[in-house]
A and B are shown apart, each in its own frame.
Chain A
C-alpha cells in the first residue's frame, strides 16, 4: 500500500461536482506530478489532502491509517502554496519558526541568537541565500520561495510535501535551485507532489504523473511511459494545436521579398514608410529600466523577452501610465502621449492586462456580470443610467464568445477558476475596442487549451489592425506568437529581432546579457 492512498473521492459544491471518483497514490521517495487544466480539480484535491476540506465520500489513508477519521495524520503532509505568504517585514528566522512554540521556542522571551543558530542549518540545506536576521522583503523572490519550502519542512514528522506551481515566478536558474532541493528531499525518502503547467518541468523532475480532467483522475502513469503529446491529450481530452504558429498574417499589405527575411532587417523595411508606427517610444526611463526606445506597428504582435526583474512589466506599466517615467516620451497614433494617466490611456484605446490577475485584474467581491459590465458602461448606460437588459445581453455574449465556464453570470468572480477569470478579463478588455493591447504574461498559470485560445485572440486582434504587445517568460510562447521580439536585460534594451529569422540561442543570449551588442537593432 502506498504511503498516501486516495480512493473514489467525491466532492461537490452547490451546482458543481468538483471531484468525482478520484484515485491517487503517493509513494515515498518519488516526485508525483499532479497535472490538469485549470478547473480540473487540482486545488480541491490539494485542499482535501491537506485536511482543509473534507470530501463528500471516498477514502483517504495516510501511512495506512484512515486520515478522515484521525485528522492528526495530516501533520505528515506539508503544503507550500503557489503565492508567497510570508511575513514580509519580519526576519527570515522568525518566518521559519513561526509559531515559535511549535518549533520548540516556548520560553517567555525569544532569543534572537538561538533562533539564528537554529535557522542556519535550514538555510544551508535548502540553499537559501539570506542571513537569519535579514528581513524577508529584502531577499530575492526565489529565496522566498525556498524559504516557504523550508518553513513547511520545519513541521516535525512531515513525509509528504505538496508544491503548488512553485516555479511560476522563478527564472530558469532559480528553478534549477528549487529542483535540486526537491531531488534532495526525494533522496531522503519524502514524497513530493508537484503541481505545474510547464511541460519541461513535469518531465524534468517527475517520476509519476496523475492526470485530472473535469474532476476525474484519468491516468496514473510512470512519466517515462508518456510523451509530451500524450500528456497534453490526457489533460485536455483532445488534440490541441499547440505546435502551430500564431503569428499574425499580414493581409492586404505587401509582404517583403524573401531576401529581407535573412539577417536582421530594420523594422522599416517590413513596414512601408507611409505607415506611421502606432506606438513610438523614445528614450523612456523610469525606476527599473533605462533609455528604452521601440516602435510598434498596427497588425503586429511585438514580443518582450527578459528574465524576471529585467523591467518588462515596469516598462509596460509606465507606457500605460500606472507608473511614473523619469524621462522620455511616447507618441501614440502620431500624437504626443501624456504619461502617468491610465484613465486617459484607456480612453484613447490603450489597455494593459496585468500579470497579477488577483492583484490588478478582478473585482473579487462582485459578480462576473459586474466585472465585465464595468468596462462596457459606455454601451449600457444611456444618459447616465445603466440599462441592465443591455448589460446582460453583452455580458452573456462575452461569456459565450470567450467560453467562460460558470453556472451563472451572477457568480462572484473569485469563485471562478484562474483560466476563466483570465478569459473574463480578456473578454472585458475586448469590449472596450482597444487600439493597443498590452498582454503581460497572459498565460501564467493557465492550462494549455486556454493558452491556445488566448493565442488565437491575440492573432485575430493583430490581424484586425490592433497593435499587440506580448510580455512573456516563455520563449516558446514568444516565438509562436510574436512577429518581432524585443529583448531586455537589467532594464536595458539589448535587441529587436524578427522572430522568423532568429534562432533561440540568439534570443537567450540577448536576455542573459551576452552578445547583445552585435544584435542590437
Chain B
C-alpha cells in the first residue's frame, strides 16, 4: 500500500496531466453525486435480490436512456441559465411526426428519422429565437410553447396512436448490443459528445460564461443570443431523438410520448450539480442524477411499495438528495 500512495502523490506534484486539469472543477462537483449513486445502488442491492439481475439492469438502463437524452439537453440549457419546459412536448410531436411520415406518407424510415430530428431542433430553435428576439423569460415562454407543440401533436393524430411503424427502425428501440439496450448506447454517445462540447470546445466555455454572467459575456464579445438559440435547438434535437427512439421501441407512435419528460430531467440535473441559476454543473452530473432517480423508482417497485405511495416515496427521496447536496455545498463553500 504505502509505495502506491507515494507514487500517486509524486505524479500530483510533478504536474498533473492537463487533460485532468481541464475538468477538475467538474470532477470535484461530480464526486458527491457519484458517492450518492454508489450508496443508493448498494442499498438497493441489499433491499431486493432481484435488483442486481441483468434483466432488471437492462430495464433501468433502457428507462434511463429516454429520460437521459432529454436530461442532457435540459442540463445544457440550465448551465446556460435557461430552461425549456416544452422538451416533452417536442419529443411527443417528433414521435408522432415520425409515425405520420413513415406510415401515412410512406417516407423512407431513415429519412423520416432525420426529418424528425430536424423538426425537434427547429422547435427548440423557435423557442430560442422567441426568447432572444422578444426578450422573454424562457420559463413562461416554454410553458406556452409546450401547449402549442402538444396541441399540434393532438391536431395531427386526433389523440390516436399511429401503428404499423416499419420494422427497419425497431432495432433502434429494442436492439441489444453487448448486453446493453441500443437506446442506452445512443444516450451514452450523445452524452460523450455533449461532455466534449462543454469541456473541450470554445462553444462549451461560452455556455458556462453566459450562465455565469450574461453581461460580462456580452462585453467579451461572445455572441450570446446566437449561442442561446443553438443550445435550445440542441435540447429540441435530443428530445426528438428520445421521442423517435421511443416510437422504435413501442412500434407505435403514441401521442402521449414525452408527457413525463419535463420535470424529472430538471430534478436530475439539480441532483447532479447543475445550478438552476446557471453557470455550474455538467451533463455528466445530470445523467448521474437521472440514474439516481431511475434506481430509486426501480427499487420502490421491486421492494413492493404500494403503488399509491410510490410517488410520495420517490419524490421524498429526491427532496432529501438535493437538501443533502445543498448542505454539503454550503459547508464546502464556507471552507473555501
Let me know if A346 and B25 touch, CB within 8 A: no
Task: Digitize B218-247: 1 where CB-to-A-CB distance is under 8 Å, 0 elsewhere.
Answer: 111111000000000000000000000000
Query: What secondary structure prevails in chain A residues at the interface with B?
Result: mixed
Let me know if A377 and B205 touch, CB within 8 A: yes
> A392 to chain B: which residues have CB within 8 Å?
18, 21
Q: Min CB distance, B122 to chain A, in Å?
A: 24
Binds A, one of B125-133, B160-168, B209-217, B312-320: B209-217
CA distance A374 to B224 in the complex (A): 14
Cβ of A311 under 8 Å from chain B: no
CA distance A47 to B201 in the complex (A): 40
> B279 to chain A: which residues have CB within 8 Å?
363-366
> B213 to chain A: which residues have CB within 8 Å?
359-364
CA distance A343 to B218 in the complex (A): 7
> B215 to chain A: which residues have CB within 8 Å?
354, 359-360
Let me know if A384 and B22 touch, CB within 8 A: no
Q: Min CB distance, A437 to chain B, in Å?
A: 12
Let me know if A381 and B336 touch, CB within 8 A: no
Let me know if B219 and A386 touch, CB within 8 A: no
> A13 to chain B: which residues have CB within 8 Å?
336
Q: Min CB distance, A335 to chain B, in Å?
A: 18
Interface size on B, residues (CB 8 A): 29
Let me know if B208 and A366 touch, CB within 8 A: yes
CA distance A56 to B216 in the complex (A): 36
Query: What secondary structure prevails in chain B residues at the interface with A?
Result: helix
Let me know if A342 and B205 touch, CB within 8 A: no
Let me know if A361 and B201 touch, CB within 8 A: no
Cβ of A385 under 8 Å from chain B: yes
Whether A342 touches B216, Cβ cut-off 8 Å, given contacts A14-B335, A386-B202, A412-B336, is no
Let me know if A388 and B223 touch, CB within 8 A: no
Let me know if A366 and B22 touch, CB within 8 A: no
Let me know if A381 and B208 touch, CB within 8 A: no
Chain B residue nearest to A361 in the complex (CB): B216
Q: Which of B289-336 contact A (CB under 8 A)?
A: 335-336
Q: Min CB distance, A392 to chain B, in Å?
A: 6
CA distance A320 to B220 in the complex (A): 11
> B137 to chain A: which residues have CB within 8 Å?
none
Let me know if A367 and B209 touch, CB within 8 A: no
Chain B residue nearest to A350 in the complex (CB): B221
Cβ of B280 under 8 Å from chain A: yes
Pick the most buried of B200, B208, B219: most chain A CB atoms within 10 A of its CB.
B219
Contact among B206, B219, B335 for A360, CB-based, below 8 A: B219
Whether A386 touches B205, Cβ cut-off 8 Å, given contacts A14-B336, A365-B280, A392-B21, is yes
Whether A377 touches B218, Cβ cut-off 8 Å, given contacts A366-B209, A366-B212, is no
Contact among A345, A370, A374, A415 for B336, CB-based, below 8 A: A415
Let me know if A377 and B202 touch, CB within 8 A: yes
Cβ of B158 under 8 Å from chain A: no
CA distance A387 to B24 in the complex (A): 15
Cβ of A389 under 8 Å from chain B: yes
Cβ of A410 under 8 Å from chain B: yes
Let me know if A362 and B216 touch, CB within 8 A: yes
Cβ of A241 under 8 Å from chain B: no
Contact among A346, A360, A389 for B221, CB-based, below 8 A: A346
The interface size bin for chain A is 35 or more
Q: Min CB distance, B282 to chain A, in Å?
A: 13
Contact among B208, B218, B335 for A370, CB-based, below 8 A: B208
Cβ of B19 under 8 Å from chain A: yes
> B202 to chain A: which residues have CB within 8 Å?
377, 381, 384, 386
CA distance A286 to B336 in the complex (A): 44
Let me know if A342 and B221 touch, CB within 8 A: yes
Q: Min CB distance, B34 to chain A, in Å?
A: 20
> A351 to chain B: which residues have CB within 8 Å?
221
Task: Digitize A354-398: 1 where CB-to-B-CB distance is under 8 Å, 0 elsewhere.
Answer: 100001111111110010011101000100111111011000000
Q: Which of B170-206 contact A (CB under 8 A)?
A: 200-202, 205-206
Q: Min CB distance, A183 to chain B, in Å?
A: 38
Q: Min CB distance, B37 to chain A, in Å?
A: 24
Cβ of A402 under 8 Å from chain B: no
Let me know if A385 and B200 touch, CB within 8 A: yes
Let me know if B219 and A361 touch, CB within 8 A: yes
> A374 to chain B: which residues have CB within 8 Å?
205-206, 209, 220, 222
CA distance A375 to B215 in the complex (A): 15
Cβ of A101 under 8 Å from chain B: no
Contact among A354, A373, A384 for B219, CB-based, below 8 A: A354
Chain B residue nearest to A411 in the complex (CB): B336
CA distance A415 to B334 in the complex (A): 11
Contact among A344, A360, A410 for B216, CB-based, below 8 A: A360
Let me know if A322 and B218 touch, CB within 8 A: yes
Chain A residue nearest to B24 in the complex (CB): A410
Q: Min CB distance, A314 to chain B, in Å?
A: 15
Q: Can you list 5 pairs linking A and B with CB atoms under 8 Å apart?
A: A14-B335, A343-B223, A361-B213, A377-B205, A381-B201
Q: Which 10 A-B pairs have the closest CB atoms?
A: A346-B221, A363-B212, A388-B18, A377-B202, A388-B22, A389-B18, A365-B279, A360-B215, A343-B221, A343-B223
